[in-house]
Amino acid sequence: MNCRGSIAVISASLIVALMFVFSACATAPAKTSDLEKSVVAEQRAGEPAQAAKSSQPTEGQAAAKTKSEAVKEGEEQGGVFCLCEQYTVRKGDTLWWIAKYKDIYNDPFLWPIIYEANKDIIKDRKLLYPGQELGIPREGYTMEQIKNIRKKAGAAKPYLPRQQANLPAD
């Protein structure tokens, strides 16, 4: 009798633990998506994602990459480097998260650029629908305009983009 009681307690504990593990996996789709992207990047580039991350400059550095510098760096590292010019909205996406993707701008404070370029598609900046095709501007902005956009979006002073940002600057 005592043995059966302890087996029941252990089984119940195991079931509860498994429920926590599976629920944690289900609540983090963005992390899973990032993991999938890093695996694809590894396969394309032929080098581990960690090595690529460690070679990137820190966030505190002031200057940011222009499109040509980012493409040149990607070519020098032997990797495939793609800056998206179109983006298809997926479930749960926001302008903030789209701008934060590494193949878009790698800077969430640049979301107003996407909004302004797609005002005809996006009626309310807080509502995006899966399947919407958004154009991603890749040029036509000066550094001063980018700093003003980041300021309006709530970035901290001095409003300079991160070093790793893929700016739509000329």
Q: Measure the CA–CA gap between 148 and 109, rounded to whole angstroms.
A: 10
What dotted CATH number matches 59-170?
A: 3.10.350.10
Cis peptide before 168 (omega within 30 of 0): no
pLDDT tens digits in sequence order for the chain, 170 residues long: 567 777 877 887 778 766 766 665 444 444 445 545 554 455 454 444 343 343 444 443 334 444 445 554 544 444 445 687 899 999 999 999 999 998 899 999 999 999 999 999 999 999 999 999 999 999 889 999 999 999 999 998 888 888 888 888 87
Domain boundaries, the chain: 1-55, 59-170
Tell me the one-letter amino acid at 60: G
Q: Tell me how crowded residue 166 is: count the other CB atoms within 10 A of its CB.
A: 27
pLDDT at 4: 74
User: pTM to 2 decimals?
Assistant: 0.55
12 vs 96: CA distance, rounded Å: 42
> pLDDT, tens digit, for every residue of 3-44?
777 787 788 777 876 676 666 544 444 444 554 555 445 545
Rounded to whole angstroms, how far apart are CA atoms 132 and 88? 6
- Spatial contact of 160 and 145, defined as CB atoms under 8 Å apart: no
